[in-house]
Amino acid sequence: MESLFGRALLERAIALVYGKQPIVLYQTPDGSASLAEVPGSKFATVYKVLPTINFCACESFRGWVLQQKRQPTCKHVLATKLALVLNRIQIESIPEDKLIVLKKQLVEDSLKRRVSSGH
């Protein structure tokens, strides 16, 4: 894994998986749709991640993954994938309409960060 993601990214993702704040996976009762919330480095910052795709609204994802193409993903996406595999994720079942609200927030967060960065 280190050869795929690099030591620094892998270590930061593992730190999130085993950190004080849990990674929470919200999913519909039938399991057909989900969204994860991953704690950020800054106090009270949480990033929403869609576990089935490689996307995060964080600055690192936008800069290192999308713009500079220097890494394949960010620590939040990688931590979500690792937490799922290692069974270190808190799963909460929520109705589909509430999941849609969370996904809408992900899009809004992404747009806000893009506008605030001048892009």
pLDDT in tens, 45-62: 899 998 888 999 888 998
Residue 96 lies in a domain: yes
Q: Supply the Cα-derived Rg of the chain in whole angstroms.
A: 14
Residue 115 lies in a domain: no
Look at residue 41 and tell me whether its pLDDT is greater than 90: no
Residue 69 lies in a domain: yes
Residue 114 lies in a domain: no
* Count of domains for the chain: 1
24-27 and 34-39 beta bridge pairing: antiparallel
Residue 108 has a pLDDT of 87
The whole-angstrom separation of Cα 106 and Cα 10 is 24
Residue 116 lies in a domain: no
Residue 53 lies in a domain: yes
At 36, the amino acid letter reads A
More confident residue, 106 or 114: 106
Residue 88 lies in a domain: yes
Cβ atoms within 10 Å of 118's Cβ, excluding its own: 5
Give which of 34, 32, 22, 30 is closest to 100, Cα–Cα.
Answer: 34
Look at residue 117 and tell me whether its pLDDT is greater than 70: no
Domain hosting 38: range is 1-108
